[in-house]
Amino acid sequence: MSENNHLFDGLLGNAEREAVFCKIPDGENMRTITYADVVSISAQFANALVALGVEPGDRVAVQAPKSFEALMLYLATVRAGAVFLPLNTAYTVSEIEYFLDNATPSLFVCAPEQSQDYDALTERLDIRLESLGDWSSDNPDAGTLFAAASEASYEFENIEREANDLAAILYTSGTTGRSKGAMLSHDNLLSNAVSLVDYWQFTSDDVLIHALPIFHTHGLFVATNVILRSGASMILLPGFNADAIFMHMPAATTLMGVPTFYTRLLDDDRLQRSAVEHMRLFVSGSAPLLAETHIQFEDRTGHRILERYGMTETNMNTSNPYDGERRAGTVGFPLPGVEIRVANPETGEHLPDGEVGVLEVKGPNVFSGYWQMPEKTKEEFRDDGFFITGDLGLIDDQGYTQIVGRAKDLIISGGYNIYPKELELILDEQDGVLESAVIGVPHADFGEGVVAVLVPQKGTEIDIEALANALQDKIARFKQPKKLIVVDELPRNTMGKVQKNVLRDNYSNVLS
CA of 312: how far to CAs of 46, 220, 368, 500, in Å? Answer: 25, 11, 12, 18
In what order do the strands lie in the sheet containing 333-334?
29-34, 20-26, 233-236, 207-210, 254-257, 281-284, 306-311, 315-319, 333-334
- Dihedral of CA atoms 223, 227, 229, 231 in degrees, nearest 10, equals 180
Check residue 175 and give its pLDDT.
Answer: 45
- Asked if residues 448 and 442 have their Cβ atoms less than 8 Å apart, the reply is yes
Q: Lowest mean pLDDT: which of 171-185, 366-380, 454-468?
A: 171-185
Q: Is the pLDDT of residue 358 over 70?
A: yes
- Cα separation, 175 vs 85, in Å, equals 19
Check residue 28 and give its pLDDT.
Answer: 78
- Cα separation, 208 vs 227, in Å, equals 8
Q: Is the pLDDT of residue 2 over 70?
A: no
- pLDDT above 90 as % of the chain: 73
- The structure's pTM equals 0.85
Strands 369-370 and 181-185: antiparallel
Nearest to 296 by CA among 271, 322, 279: 271
- Asked if residues 132 and 76 have their Cβ atoms less than 8 Å apart, the reply is no
Strands of 251-305 (E only): list them: 254-257, 281-284
- Asked if residues 268 and 242 have their Cβ atoms less than 8 Å apart, the reply is yes
Phi, psi of 85 (to 5 degrees): -130, 90
The predicted-structure confidence for 426-464, as pLDDT tens digits, reads as follows 898 899 999 999 999 888 777 788 999 999 998 899 999
Nearest to 276 by CA among 304, 253, 243: 253
- Asked if residues 152 and 47 have their Cβ atoms less than 8 Å apart, the reply is yes
Check residue 475 and give its pLDDT.
Answer: 83
158 by Cβ neighbours in 10 Å (0-12 / 13-18 / 19+) ranks as middle
Average pLDDT along the chain: 91
**Range from 83-92, 98-107, 282-291, 420-429 that averages highest in pLDDT:** 98-107
Instruction: Please give the distance of CA 176 from its chain centroid, rounded to a whole number.
Output: 18
> How many other CB atoms are found less than 10 A from the CB of residue 372?
13
Check residue 1 and give its pLDDT.
Answer: 38
- pLDDT above 70 as % of the chain: 96
